[in-house]
A and B are shown apart, each in its own frame.
Chain A
């Protein structure tokens, strides 16, 4: 049981380049989330999805786009990377029940130079 897998684990981008981060879960979870975490800070919600084909904005959505074409995958896109997007990105998934736990990936460390 792989849980939540994030790809890639590390990436360095030049300003203005684009990239897509992939989050895959094998637990048939309805909900999926993307967070960013800056040094010494807590997690901030970027976007989330409550099901296949649906996405919603979180606390800090600007500069990011997401897609959930398949239930098991949640993609986070950066169309034109900026140094301010240098961060560690975490993906999470959970069932659609408040009394259940969320599972997190191990993170993607992104540096934009």
Chain B
């Protein structure tokens, strides 16, 4: 399985943008980039995903590098409720996408 690398932790101030990086240098052409987050004492929740193009939804934006070897999750205005562990994972469309393997993620701290 292709692996992802994320910083262990990041810090931000409330109402400022946050850019969470993820490296996936061994990504294949059929791998989707997914982001999930886990709030304290809760199960993970889906944030966003993409294949090649940048994506926007109500929660965040996903910027994918042209070579697809890295991506950035963008929270446009961080709130205290965005404090969570953010996971970047790859789901392959080749040979089935059955495995959903998580790394250690990035712990985001949001300061008031």
* A-to-B contact residues, CB < 8 Å: 4, 31, 33, 35, 41-45, 48, 50, 56, 58-59, 90, 92, 94, 96-99, 101-107
Query: Given that A90-B43, A90-B44, A105-B43 are contacting pairs, would A50 and B98 also be in contact in the complex, using a CB cutoff of 8 Å?
Result: yes
Chain A contacts of B76 at CB under 8 A? none
Q: Is the interface of B mostly helix, strand, loop or mixed?
A: loop
Q: Given known contacts A31-B98, A42-B103, A45-B100, is B87 in contact with A98 (CB within 8 Å)?
A: no
- Stretch of B10-18, B19-27, B28-36, B67-75 contacting A (4+ beta carbons < 8 Å): B28-36
Neighbour of B46 across the interface among A35, A102, A105, CB < 8 A: A102
Q: Does A42 lie within 8 Å of B102, measured CB to CB? A: yes
The answer to whether B102 and A98 touch across the interface, beta carbons within 8 angstroms, is no
Pair A106/B43 contact, Cβ less than 8 Å:
yes
Within 8 A of A (CB), among B94-112: 96-105
Beyond contacts A45-B102, A104-B44: 8 other A-B pairs, Cβ-Cβ < 8 A, are A31-B97, A42-B85, A90-B44, A98-B93, A99-B49, A99-B91, A99-B93, A102-B34
| Interface residues in B, total, Cβ within 8 A | 27
Per-residue interface assignment for chain B, residues 51 to 94, with 1 indicating a CB less than 8 Å from any chain A CB and 0 otherwise? 10000000000000000000000000000000001010001110
Residue ID in chain B nearest A4 by CB atoms: B43
Contact pick for A106, options B31, B32, B42, CB 8 Å: B42
**Given known A90-B43, A90-B44, contact A101–B101 (CB-CB < 8 A):** no
Determine the chain B residues whose CB is within 8 A of the CB of A96 once the complex forms. Answer: 96-98
Contact yes or no, B46 A101, CB < 8 A: yes
Q: Distance (Å) between the CB of B22 and the closest chain A CB?
A: 14
> In the bound complex, what is the Cα–Cα distance between A11 and B8 (angstroms)?
31
Contact between chains at A99 and B32 (CB < 8 Å): yes
